Amino acid sequence: MEYIQAHKRTHKRLSTPKILKRALFIILGAALVSVGLEIFLVPNNIIDGGIVGVSIILSHLTGLKLGIFLFFLNLPFLFVGYKQIGKTFAISTLLGVAVMSLGTTILHPVQKVTADPLLAAVFGGIILGIGVGMVIRYGGSLDGTEIVAILFNKKMPFSVGETVMFFNIFILGSAGFVFGWDRAMYSLIAYYIAFKMIDVTIQGLDESRSVWIISDKYEEIGEALLARLGRGVTYLNGEGGYTGDNKKVIFCVITRLEEAKLKAIIEDIDEAAFLAVGSIHNVKGGNFKKLNVH
């Protein structure tokens, strides 16, 4: 009898330059979060959501340094993250949390940039969001709330997003009792801006779009997209669910700035064409290059 030995496929290790790049951007992102907190938000009694918000409230009530709470409140979630997501995530998160905690301690004596709560909420939210987005983009996290949400999601009929929202509404609402309701509203502004900046930082400004087009004039549309937009297309075979007719589906990937021109091209050729456009967080590989358009 012939035996075949199965070899366990191991995860490919990152190269040293990639590890250093990841560590550098995690450190930079965590440092930006420290600046957003200690230079803008905390001195103006404005909080963020998640563990950061809880830490700010506890620091205010106890008089202890913010960095202490940021580090120790996140430790249990580091263990859970290691179990649920993996070693690389846990190490990246530990690095980010350590830098953020140390950064807030170092920056605590520094004077705040502005005493205007609106300016503090806006610019603090921007800096905080960019920093958090950088850490997430390079494989780490600065807040254990989402890890808790993942665990709750397995046992309760709520999505991860809904659970995070519930936690943050509770935390931001608590700020009203501690700092006053006007500061709670400024905190909500800061949280919203930070949330949007996280998306922009993770996805990048040059966000891509996936385009699906169904038309009887698919060849003419495909040639026009190639000639006038400089984008290649892929033809897929489809079948109408109601009529049973064979259909050609055009698939194309464009940038956000090219969407308006693509719609104009399609309308010029076939106003009745079916068009679906969706956002893509990342495009890699293949031949996603823009050809020269003359």
Tens of pLDDT, residues 123-172: 999 999 999 989 988 888 888 776 676 666 666 666 656 677 788 888 88
pLDDT tens-place string over residues 175-234: 889 898 999 999 999 999 998 888 788 776 556 789 999 998 999 999 999 888 888 898
Tokens representing residue 120 in the block: 């503090």
**For residues 100 and 58, is the Cβ–Cβ distance under 8 A?**
no
Q: pTM (2 decimals)?
A: 0.73
Evaluate if residue 242 carries a pLDDT over 90. Answer: no
Query: CB atoms < 10 A from the CB of 195, how many?
Result: 17
Least-confidence region, from 37-51, 89-103, 114-128, 195-209? 195-209
pLDDT value, residue 9? 43
What is the average per-residue pLDDT within 236-248?
80
Q: For residue 83, name the pLDDT band (cuts at 50, 70, 90).
A: confident
Q: What is the 3-state secondary structure (H, E, C) of the chain?
A: CCCCCCCCCCCCCCCHHHHHHHHHHHHHHHHHHHHHHHHHHHHHCCCCCHHHHHHHHHHHHHCCCHHHHHHHHHHHHHHHHHHHCCHHHHHHHHHHHHHHHHHHHHHCCCCCCCCCHHHHHHHHHHHHHHHHHHHHHCCCCCCCHHHHHHHHHHHCCCCHHHHHHHHHHHHHHHHHHHHCHHHHHHHHHHHHHHHHHHHHHHHCCCCEEEEEEECCCHHHHHHHHHHHHCCCCEEEEEECCCCCCEEEEEEEEEEHHHHHHHHHHHHHHCCCCEEEEEEECCCCCCCCCCCCCC
Evaluate if residue 3 carries a pLDDT over 60. Answer: no
Q: For residue 282, name the pLDDT band (cuts at 50, 70, 90).
A: low
Q: For residue 240, name the pLDDT band (cuts at 50, 70, 90).
A: confident
What is the average per-residue pLDDT within 73-89?
79
Using CA atoms, how far apart are residues 209 and 61, in angstroms rounded to an integer?
47
Residue indicated by tokens 């990048």: 204
Q: What percent of the chain has pLDDT over 70?
A: 82
* Mean of all residue pLDDT scores within the chain: 83
pLDDT value, residue 287? 55
pLDDT value, residue 37? 94
Q: For residue 6, name the pLDDT band (cuts at 50, 70, 90).
A: very low
pLDDT higher for 15 or 288?
15
